[in-house]
Amino acid sequence: MKVLLAHGSSDSMHGKQVDILANKVSSLLGEEVGTAFLSDERLPAGAQVLPLFLGAGKHVTEDIPKLVETSACTLLPSLNEHAGQLVAMAYDELTRESKRINVLFALYRFAGFESLSAVIHSNNKRCSKVAIGSLHSEPSVTSVLNLWHSDGVESVTVQPMLLFGGHTLARVQSMIDSTPINNISLAPVLSEHDGFAAFIADCLRQKL
């Protein structure tokens, strides 16, 4: 059995989105794909576990390996090890109609997300203007948008580097609402991008 391991949230929408993703991936693979969360005491014994985490913090380095070992499961590389593919997917979606856009990538925080940040910067020629802001550290989404406003930038697309909607996405929206730029569009979270389910299916096909 294959299992998608997510962080979990008090927002019920989070769990529903993980279930929807698992169902899509299951259809692509032609086999059962279950879901689990960090709060679970055990995972299905013998399962191949794919952590749905973009950062490389304590959950990925300590909590998840311990949970997987306790449950006698096999641990697949977390999504943070696929930063290149995730960022390419985001840029492809953002530039589908035009490359002449100003994009602010919104990270949860910078610490632990260094690989994601580095790949975003290495591809910044794909858009007119690219920056990264954080939800919980500096430079923040708000401070970057305020700086761009002072530089005369009038139109911005914010790409939340989040897998699912919920409380954190609401925080992104509130930070956008607090800035003076009027023409700001909020791009979909990563799980809503075309090809994301197929990407997850490929991650589950990996041979260890």
What's the pLDDT at 10? 67
| The architecture CATH gives domain 82-190 | 3-Layer(aba) Sandwich (3.40)
pLDDT band at 162, cuts 50/70/90? very high
15's CB contacts (< 8 A; 6+ apart) are: 8, 9, 35, 37
pLDDT of 38-49, one tens digit each? 999 999 999 999
Q: What are phi and psi of 48, to 5 degrees?
A: -90, 125
Domain with CATH 3.40.50.1400 in the chain: 2-80+193-204, 82-190
What's the pLDDT at 189? 97
HSE-CB for 20 with a 13 A CA cutoff: 12
Mean pLDDT over all residues of the chain? 95
pLDDT of 95-137, one tens digit each? 999 999 999 999 999 999 999 999 999 999 999 999 999 999 9
Q: What is the pTM of this model?
A: 0.93
The reply to whether CATH 3.40.50.1400 applies to domain 2-80+193-204 is yes
- Cis before 188 (ω within 30): no
What's the pLDDT at 14? 81
What's the pLDDT at 48? 97
